[in-house]
Amino acid sequence: MIVSINWIKDYVDLEGFDIKNLINKFTLSTAEVEDIYIKGDDVQNVVVGEILSVENHPESSKLHLLKVDTGDKIRSIVCGAPNVRVGLKVALACDGGRVPAGFIEKRKVAGFESEGMCCSENELGIGDNNKGIWELDTDAPNGTDIKTIYPVDDILFEVDNKSLTNRPDLWGHYGIAREFAALTGRTLKALDLAEVDYTGEDKVSVEIPRKDLVFRYSTVKMSGISRNESSMAMRIRLYYCGMRGINLLADVTNYIMLEIGQPTHAFNADSVDKIVVKTPESKINFTTLDGTQRVIDEDTLLICNGETPIGIAGIMGGLDSEIVQDTGSVVLESAVFDGINIRKSSQRLGLRTDASARYEKMLDPELTLIAVGRFIKLVKSLDSGAYVSSKLNDLYLKKYPQIVLEFNKKYVDRYTGIEIDDNRIINTLTSLGFGVDYTDGNFTVTVPSWRATKDVTIKADIIEEITRVYGYDNFSITTTSLPLKPVKNDYARMADDEAREILVKKYSMHEVHSYVWCDGRKFKKLGIDVEDNVRVINIENSDNGVLRNLMVPTLLTIANENKGFSSKFGIFEIGRIVNGTDKDGNCKEEKHLGIVLYDKSGDEKKLYFELLEIISCISAEIKNQKTVFTKISPRHNWQHPKNTASLSIDGTEYGFMCTLYPSNRSKFDKTGVVVCAEIDLNIFDTINAKAVSFEEPSDRQETYYDLSLALNNSTRFEDIEKCWQSLEIAEFKSANVIDTYDKLGFKGITVRLNFVAKDRTLEMEEVQSWIDKILINLSDIGVVLRS
Amino acid sequence: MLEKAEELTGLFKNKAEQAKKSADIEKLRVEFLGKKGHLSSLMQELRNVPNDQKKEAGQKINDAKQFIENAIAKRLAEIKEFEEKMIVEQAEAYDESMPVTTDFGSYHPITLVKNECENIFRSMGFTVEDYSEITDDYNCFEALNIPKHHPARDMQDTFYLSSGQLLKTHTSAAQNTILRKYKSSLEKGNPIRAIFPGRCFRNEKIDACHENTFFQMEGIMVDKDISISNLIYFMKTMLSEVFQKDVTVRLRPGFFPFVEPGFELDIQCLICGGEGCSSCKNSGWLELCPCGMIHPNVLMAAGIDPEEYIGFAFGLGLTRLAMMRYGVGDIRMFNSGNLKALSQFTDKSFKKPEDEGRHN
């Protein structure tokens, strides 16, 4: 909203204050000011001039040669406007003067000297009329600076509308003037209102079937209106505040809205016999005054003349009842409708107007009569023939309750943490229109009607009023005194950080973030189906609606898009997935870690083993436990039937790793390889971490024994391992694979078994006896020594 | 006998001069001092020397032996020194300017900024809480004093799910759960100090400045006597830590249904120092985080008596903070998965604060 300081000054004396400082104070105490515009600085030496003579230019059909009296002298002016005539008073920018477009100098125009320029409203920046020069309606002597007659000089500031959403009272200048009064300690002047001075019995007939959607509906009729235009001063104000001058009645209703925030509507009295405020029984078509035909549904409140709609309540009038020139008699509607209904209707219609924006903030119904009084006052002052021609019809259907709040000084002190003087509190609240009764440290505060529609309802709201006017910059600031208390560790979070560190620092992987929904288009490129899951129902792109049930598919699409980044890289993400819904229909949200490794020229097996190491490393580092990898059949059709394994510790499965199904793999990259893993961190977090157990190191020599074994293709290392683990040899220390052999379908492995005893150096015979037992176990599963 | 000893010394001198390598010296040692060396045989011959001359002859032989031993040691040392010098000379001078790989992986910039903030808050006694991305109408709106039809629900265009739930539009959605979690601890005299970082979602068109998926960090503090004065102090201290320099803050009224009073907190522009520049749209201030005193209705929704307890809440835009910290101009980078961009974020640089005494 744009605010005019001139307008504010109508209601508060700001003499002696630095206006820019005040505006800054307004930002800090009331609402954010986004911009300040200085008006009139670029209009200099523009004076009243009277056209004494008009001659046609010898060579141009458009240009005229004028003699203009500017008091000090008669000037020769070349002018192209169509409305020049002898006797017309014009705004003449004299040479040496200035208009927004630039400086005015004496110069030759089409061969004739011109000592200035006759200006249009548009050229002076005070209106949008540029059809001809501005015809002044003034008796001021020639040569008078127009700025002394018209309010060209002004300071405007634009308030961020978002910061006014909770303040319906600030959607008009009068409310903002009240803030300035509170901030400066000056008095707020009363609005100049006129009485409904009609003594007859006529009354506008109003019927309201939808009483639930109307707070108050006030009407009055005025007649005898003959003037078509409002005053220049009013038009400049409207223009400065972002509206256009239209005609007398439209300008006055707009002016009232900008002044007190109450939208009003003037209907042509000829088109109104009986006002009915209702919603249509079924959808209807209706043309609003902007000339657009709109479909009005059953929830939209209409103003009707009998059965005929003449306006959408609180949003926009109809084309047929529009005030046009020569409307001699008008019915003024000054009403407050249900804000929520107006907001929703305006959303459905896609039509947001200055009026609807105000209604949706929950206007104070007390305003309707103020608007009526202001309307009569303004119309009469602009058109002396106008008179009130009906009684006031005021239907006050719903009243907001009066809000009275009680609190004591201790409450204020506790909330603020500083000491604010009692009188200061009383003065602040009084200047903002609150009724204050203060006895023995107890405040009883009555909330004014314009703040009581939703804004101020509890005593904490009063704290804001007191402190914002006091000024947050003036607060002395203090720390709290809280008891000493250790902050407990959050192990799940620590585990996430640890996993990240391993992946980034040890395996040089890159952390990425992706969306919580699947990108169907990208999945398709890899031949991956979007699996059924909970969807976002109001997302624009339907490809993106389904929530991810795993991290890996999305990470694969990311890896796919990064093939140009490096010939080998790994990515991971710790994020949320949705694993369907529970029995109550709520999403089962899980925190997962997804890992994808890519190698453009590597071999898949090697990469798979790298991933195996990464996972083992994570479980070793975070849980001090060994992960068991168990072959499982694929659960998703992009997983490889042979190389998909579950991850588990102590029998708790916490994730999987896999290579891709050949067709998916080839879509990914013809030559490159990719492997992936996913860890359910919620399950992983439930797995106990084994404590580090210390064992006194033996100072005896270790003895090792190498076994070169020949294996079947289906034999896994874990089968071999059992052959010595099952013997539970106390002196067994570790087993390392020191060589593997895989050629022509023949698989071999060399294992080094290490033994050590604490109390003695082992004799070879003793070791050999264990080896013999191990070999028996091995031969039981078909593993023999390689010859 | 005496002459023989003299001769032997002379012979040794000759040979020693020719010895160039430590191996030559070793040969000499064997030749002269070995078990079957010249000196040994001379000692054998001593038997044949008449008794009265034995002492003198023995002395001579010993002198010769002493001389040779010393000379060998000396020469050996010389040669060793020379040889070592040769080894050094022949050694390769390594080129330290050769490029090497220092590549670690990279953390997501949000992780880096989030960890930094979490550490700051932990150091001030705050717990770090976890909250889901999916929540419901109650937690996201109702419990935060945002009733149905409230315009605040329009302000945040929400992603609704087919399950009837929604993706949280702000981290404030966690307030009710966290207040409830610590309610009994609060009533035992332990103030609530908690932060909850998390991902938020809004149904917005994506462009360089807008994302539908972004990170926030919410914080709350509740106790018996928490005041606006405390809030301002805390925000200033916290932000000075976050930005690692003394920041100037200002509060203005801001409207959020879940706080009363509510504030918009601005910090003086860190780029121009408040003079006005393009980053702060010439105002000298940057709107950074909304905050306020927790609305009594929010406390009540969690079963906490607002007459007895009071607190403040604040929100920090982590994504915004990361943009400021790293000079990221396009918000879409964060969720792009583009490794050319993301791989640049590491935690390698530990920056020392500009002004260590900023809290004094």
- Which range among A112-126, A275-289, A660-674, B20-34 shows the weakest confidence by mean pLDDT? B20-34
Please determine, for residue B354, whether its predicted confidence score (pLDDT) is greater than 80: no
Q: Provide, rounded to the nearest whole percent, the portion of chain A with pLDDT above 90.
A: 82
Convert the pLDDT of each residue in A359-390 to its tens digit. 999 999 999 999 999 999 999 999 999 999 99
Same domain? For B136 and B280 the reply is: yes
Q: Which of B90, B117, B140 is the last residue of a domain?
A: B90
Is there a domain that residue B204 lies in?
A: yes
Count Cβ atoms below 10 Å from residue B224 Cβ, excluding itself: 12
Bridge-based pairing of strands A732-743 and A746-755 is: antiparallel
Does residue B217 share a domain with residue B69? no
The reply to whether B164 and B267 lie within a common domain is yes
Residue in B151, B203, B263 closest to A360 by CB: B151
Which chain B residues are within 8 Å of A414, Cβ to Cβ? Answer: 225, 227, 310
Output the pLDDT for position A602.
Answer: 83
Give start and end residues of each alpha helix (H) in chain B: 2-18, 22-33, 38-45, 51-90, 109-123, 137-140, 152-155, 175-187, 228-243, 296-301, 318-326, 339-342
Domain of residue B193: give its range: 109-342
pLDDT score for A724: 94
Instruction: Determine the Cα–Cα distance for residues A686 and A579; give it in Å rounded to an integer.
Output: 18
Q: Is residue B102 part of a domain?
A: no
Sign of the Cα pseudo-torsion (B184, B187, B190, B191, in order)? positive
Q: Is A510 on the interface with B (CB under 8 A)?
A: yes
Question: Which of the residues A512, A596, A685 would you substitute to probe the B interface, choosing the one with the greatest number of B C-beta atoms within 10 Å?
Answer: A512
Contact A534 B163 (CB under 8 A): yes
**Residues linked to residue A68 through DSSP beta bridges, in sequence order:** A51, A75
- In angstroms, the Cα distances linking A298 to A59, A86, A206, A284 are 64, 59, 20, 9
Chain centroid offset of residue A561 CA: 31
A673 CA to centre of own chain: 43
Q: Please tell me whether residues B74 and B121 are part of one structural domain.
A: no
- List the single residue in A347, A480, A586 with the smallest CB-CB distance to B223: A480
| pTM to 2 decimal places | 0.86
Q: Which candidate, A551, A609, A498, A524, places its Cα nearest to that of B337? A: A551
| Residue owning tokens 């400066």 | A184
The pLDDT of residue A324? 62
**Alpha-carbon distances, residue A243 vs A127, A174, A237, A252 (angstroms):** 9, 18, 9, 12
B239 inside domain: yes
Rounded-to-integer distance, Cα A489 and Cα A495, Å: 11
Per cent of chain B over pLDDT 90 is 49
Q: Which of B339, B345, B348, B359 to mutate to test the interface with A (most CBs of A within 10 A)?
A: B339
A17: number of Cβ within 10 Å? 15
Yes or no, beta carbons of A508 and B105 under 8 Å apart: yes
Output the average pLDDT for chain A.
93
Q: Do B276 and B188 share a domain, yes or no?
A: yes
pLDDT higher than threshold 50 for residue A561: yes
Residues B237 and B296 in one domain: yes
Residue with tokens 């097996």: A605
Which residue among B213, B237, B337 places its CB closest to the CB of A558?
Answer: B337
d(CA A676, CA A664): 13
Query: How many domains is chain B built from?
Result: 2
Q: Is the pLDDT of residue B349 over 70?
A: no
- Give the domains, in start order, of chain A with CATH numbers: 2-40+155-184 (3.30.56.10), 44-152 (2.40.50.140), 205-396 (3.50.40.10), 405-474 (3.30.56.10), 491-686 (3.30.930.10), 703-785 (3.30.70.380)
Nearest Cα of chain A lies from the Cα of B261 at a distance, in angstroms, of 5
User: Which residue type sits at B135?
Assistant: T
**Residues B133 and B266 reside in one and the same domain:** yes
pLDDT tens track for B89-115:
999 998 898 888 877 899 999 999 999
Cis, bond preceding B261 (omega within 30 deg of 0): yes
Estimate to the nearest angstrom the gap between the alpha carbon of B122 and the chain centroid.
17
* Token code pair at residue B63: 């002198």
DSSP A127-192: -S--SS--B----PPTT-BGGGTS---EEEEEE-GGGGTT-GGGSSHHHHHHHHHHHHTPPPPPP-
- Chain A partners of B164 at a C-beta cutoff of 8 Å? 585
The rounded Cα B30 to chain-centroid distance in angstroms is 63
Chain B residues touching residue A487 (CB < 8 angstroms): 122, 125-127
Please list every residue in chain B whose beta carbon sits closer than 8 Å to the beta carbon of residue A360.
151
With vertex at residue A466, the alpha carbon angle to CA A464 and CA A470, rounded to the nearest 5 degrees, is 110
Determine whether the interchain pair B105/A503 forms a contact, defined as Cβ–Cβ distance below 8 Å: yes
Select from A324, A191, A311, A345 the least CA-distant residue to A255. Answer: A191
Total residues found in chain A within this entry:
787
What's the rounded Cα separation, in Å, for the pair A593 and A247? Answer: 67
Same domain, yes or no: B147 and B288: yes
Q: Are residues B129 and B21 in the same domain?
A: no
Contact A659, A604 (CB under 8 A): yes
Domain check: are B64 and B120 in the same one? Answer: no
Domain shared by B35 and B127, yes or no: no
pLDDT digit string, tens, across residues B276-299: 888 788 888 888 899 999 999 999
The answer to whether position B104 is within a domain reads: no
Q: How far is CA A698 from the centre of its chain?
A: 67
In a domain, B223, yes or no: yes
Residues A365 and A206: their CA atoms lie apart, in Å, by 17
Tell me the DSSP string of B82-138: HHHHHHHHHS----TTS-------B--HHHHHHHHHHHHHHHTT-EE----SEE-HH
DSSP for A241-290 reads TT-----HHHHHHHHHHHHHS--EEEEEGGG-SEEEEE--SS-EEEEBTT
Domain assignment of residue B23, yes or no: yes
The CATH number given to whatever domain includes residue B168 is 3.30.930.10
Residue A323 confidence (pLDDT): 66
Of A475, A514, A515, the CB nearest to B232: A475
B96 domain-assigned: no
CA distance A694 to B142: 54
**Rounded CA gap, B223 and A480, in Å?**
10
Contacts of B226 in chain A (CB under 8 A): 480
Say whether both B117 and B86 belong to one domain. Answer: no
- Give B358's pLDDT tier (boundaries 50, 70, 90): very low
